[in-house]
Amino acid sequence: MARMKFLCDAERCIECNGCVTACKNENEVPWGVNRRRVVTINDGVIGAEKSISVACMHCSDAPCMAVCPVDCFYKTADGVVLHDKDLCIGCGYCFYACPFGAPQFPQAGAFGLRGKMDKCTFCAGGPEEDKSEAEFKKYGRNRLAEGKLPACAEMCSTKALLGGDGDVIADIYRERVARRGSKGAEAWGWGSAYGQPPKGAAPAAPAGGKS
């Protein structure tokens, strides 16, 4: 059974923001909402600059799902965390709880009144009928239903951002790290999002990698 995951390779991300643009374009995300963002650490410091692209990581034990007062989140059979905008009341609790800052709120009125939450769907749409117009308007494109993978990962020019079945990602990444011959490469965010993986199944994740 496939388990959908994201992984961003910090050694490869060049902060081109192609994933951010691809996401906005593919899903026609409303103004002011960015489902994906690229964060650069030590920007401009030669030899220390690293970038990471981050969006919803589709956690195994998702804090957003746990705190939602109306229980509008659900998890698909492939481990993608989705939500129902018809139920969302815009309380912002998922935004407090999410480690990665994934939930986004378009402003729906004066005084910062929150609208319905919007977040990365792993290009899997929402509870509306697959590939329908209603689904596209609310959640964006349903690429999984077309047999495709998230636009951000598929369009990544340096192949830094990997998205798809966790086992395949782990294999690709492990091979990459082995070829690089470097120690200390980290699958960033996997500890927080997917918990501690079973022994042997993990990509190279050294002691420093409990992020």
Nearest-approach distance from CB 200 to other proteins, in angstroms: 19
Site for other proteins in 99-138 (CB under 8 A): 99-101, 104, 107, 111-114, 124-127, 129-131
The Cα-based distances of 148 to 33, 123, 145, 156, 165 in angstroms read 23, 9, 7, 14, 12
Pick the closer one to other proteins by CB: 70 or 201.
70
Ordered DSSP codes for 56-106: ----SS-HHHHH-TT--EEE-TTS-EEE-TTT-----HHHHH-TT---B--
172 binds other proteins (CB under 8 A): yes
Site for other proteins in 1-30 (CB under 8 A): 1-2, 10-11, 17, 20
Site for other proteins in 65-104 (CB under 8 A): 65-72, 74-79, 82, 84, 86-93, 95-101, 104
201 binds other proteins (CB under 8 A): no
Closest CA to 14 of 64, 49, 54: 49
| 3-state DSSP percent of the chain in helix, strand and coil, to 5 | 25, 15, 55
196 binds other proteins (CB under 8 A): no
Nearest-approach distance from CB 198 to other proteins, in angstroms: 18
